[in-house]
Amino acid sequence: MKALVLTREKSPLEYIDRPDPVANAAEGEVIVHLRHAALNRRDYYITKGMYPGVEPPVILGSDGAGLTEGGREVIINPSMNWGPDPRAQQRKFAIIGMPSDGTFAEQIIVDKAQLFDKPSHLSSAEAAALPLAGLTAYRALMSKCQVRRGERVLVTGAGGGVAQFATQFARAAGAEVWVTSSSDSKIQQAVSLGANGGANYTKDGWAKSLKADAEAFDVIIDSAGGDGFKDLVSLAAPAARICFYGGTRGKINGLSPQIIFWKQLTIMGSTMGTADEFEQMLRFVREQGIHPQIDRVVPLADGAAAVESMGTSSQFGKIVLEV
Ligand SMILES: NC(=O)c1ccc[n+]([C@@H]2O[C@H](COP(=O)([O-])OP(=O)(O)OC[C@H]3O[C@@H](n4cnc5c(N)ncnc54)[C@H](OP(=O)(O)O)[C@@H]3O)[C@@H](O)[C@H]2O)c1
């Protein structure tokens, strides 16, 4: 079969032949013939050597939708071996697509517990765009921050794959949603998904202008971290919950403990989610009729360039590979 393989550390993916996988049915393994796969920032980080435990050769890709050999239309939950405690994953937790082979291929072997019916209102490309980012956004917003109807939510980096789901899920949950982005046009795209408005974080005084527009936020969902995080704390309402699932901008400097304890803030970290949360997320997406935002669909053969393009973050929503 054809696959996009990381053959060496810190190198672009190569579109090459790999042996067809052979499933051990007695062990619960199933072969999925992939129709679409989707990119995550994780894939980009792995190709740049910015991810722990990189072990080439490996087929990358955590998101996929396709058909089992019995003809069932499925999407794959990339969150494996979470373990018994819903509060945190156990040590042998793993994500599909490194160290085990992933979805950037014509076929993949997965445990049948990772398979869920494709939501019927989604195209195959949309379904492939949902799993990792949808799960991450759902746990951060719903399980961790427990967003409530009428609350004011800030989602940073609106163009991000997870961020677009956080925006749509918060809106569907009845919250008022605001965003930040490096691009005015991405803020407009977020508005078309239901956001009230936003601020461009590359412009001086963005936090002040957001405060003037929206006052303060009950829930803040962030993946950037870095020095900008202290602005988020200043935008938080008393008793706000701030949850971050990524650290694209690195370490957080200059954070004042006084503002955190005086405002009674809760600051949380979140990573992906449990199988139960995956199922809840799918139900929510079905009931609310949510459609993942797809930036573009490109052939699997062109996937290496698509992964490389994530370095500029020019996309809005998910980049999908057609297998
Ligand atoms: N813990 C987990 O389970 C988990 C799951 C998924 C992702 N992540 C992490 O979360 C981060 C985002 O992942 P993704 O797949 O959604 O990535 P992505 O689709 O590549 O999006 C990244 C976005 O980050 C935004 N950004 C960059 N600098 C920013 C800043 N200073 N302030 C606010 N936003 C900024 C940009 O938004 P604009 O283009 O709008 O400016 C960019 O589009 C990555 O670090 C990833 O590793 C973690």
Query: Per-residue pLDDT tens for 145-163?
Result: 999 999 999 999 999 999 9
Q: How many whole angstroms from 198 Cα to the centroid of ligand 1? A: 17
Query: Looking at residues 235-258, what average pLDDT do you find?
Result: 96
Q: How many CB atoms lie within 10 A of CB 250?
A: 10
Selected residue with higher pLDDT from 89 and 55: 89
Residue 180: CB within 6 Å of ligand 1?
yes
Which of 190, 196, 126 lies closest to 159 in space, CA to CA? Answer: 190
Which of 243, 241, 238 lies closest to 264 in space, CA to CA? Answer: 238
Q: How many whole angstroms from 133 Cα to the centroid of ligand 1? A: 10
Q: How many CB atoms lie within 10 A of CB 192?
A: 8
Contact yes or no for 103/76 (Cβ under 8 A): yes
In whole angstroms, what is the distance from residue 24 CA to residue 96 CA?
A: 17
Selected residue with higher pLDDT from 254 and 243: 243
Residue nearest atom 29 of ligand 1, based on CA coordinates: 224
Residue 281 lies in a domain: no
Residue 17 lies in a domain: yes
Q: Are strands 63-68 and 29-38 parallel, antiparallel or unpaired?
A: antiparallel
41 plus 101 within the same structural domain:
yes
Check residue 171 and give its pLDDT.
98
Q: How far is CA 273 from the centre of its chain?
A: 11
Residue nearest atom 2 of ligand 1, based on CA coordinates: 271
Q: Give the confidence band of 272 by pLDDT, cuts at 50, 70, 90.
A: very high
Ligand 1 closest atom vs CA 158: 40
In whole angstroms, what is the distance from residue 22 CA to residue 18 CA?
A: 12
Q: Give the confidence band of 30 by pLDDT, cuts at 50, 70, 90.
A: very high
Could you list the residue range(s) of the whole structural domain that residue 263 is in? 135-269
Ligand 1 closest atom vs CA 226: 31
103 plus 203 within the same structural domain:
no
Check residue 190 and give its pLDDT.
97
Mutate to test the pocket of ligand 1, among 80, 95, 251, 313 (most ligand atoms within 8 A of CB): 313
Share of the chain above pLDDT 70, in %: 100
Ligand 1 closest atom vs CA 270: 1
Q: Give the confidence band of 261 by pLDDT, cuts at 50, 70, 90.
A: very high
108 plus 149 within the same structural domain:
no
Q: Residues, the chain, total?
A: 323
Phi-psi region of 152 (alpha: psi -120 to 50; beta: other; left: phi over 0): beta
Which of 222, 119, 215 lies closest to 166 in space, CA to CA? Answer: 222
Check residue 290 and give its pLDDT.
98
Residue 186: CB within 6 Å of ligand 1?
yes
Query: Looking at residues 197-209, what average pLDDT do you find?
Result: 96
Residue 239 lies in a domain: yes
Q: Is this prediction's pTM over 0.85?
A: yes
Convert the pLDDT of each residue in 32-78 to its tens digit.
Answer: 999 999 999 999 999 999 999 899 999 999 999 999 999 999 999 99
Q: How many whole angstroms from 76 Cα to the centroid of ligand 1? A: 22
Radius of gyration of the chain (CA): 19
CATH of the domain at 264: 3.40.50.720
Check residue 239 and give its pLDDT.
98
In whole angstroms, what is the distance from residue 278 CA to residue 212 CA?
A: 37
**Percentages of the chain per state (helix, strand, coil), in multiples of 5:** 30, 25, 40
Nearest-10 Cα torsion for 248, 252, 257, 259 = -60
- 81-114 residues labelled b (16+ CB within 10 A) or e (exposed): ebeeeeeebeeeebbbbbeebbbbbbbbbbbeeb
Residue 156: CB within 6 Å of ligand 1?
yes
Q: How many whole angstroms from 267 Cα to the centroid of ligand 1? A: 18
Residue 313: CB within 6 Å of ligand 1?
yes
146 plus 253 within the same structural domain:
yes
Residue 41: CB within 6 Å of ligand 1?
yes
End-to-end distance of the chain based on CA atoms, in angstroms? 11
Q: How many domains does the chain divide into?
A: 2
Residue 275 lies in a domain: no
Convert the pLDDT of each residue in 279-305 to its tens digit.
Answer: 999 999 999 999 999 999 999 999 999
148 plus 230 within the same structural domain:
yes
In whole angstroms, what is the distance from residue 233 CA to residue 49 CA?
A: 31
Q: Strand, coil or helix: what is 292?
A: coil
Residue nearest atom 48 of ligand 1, based on CA coordinates: 246
Ligand 1 closest atom vs CA 186: 40
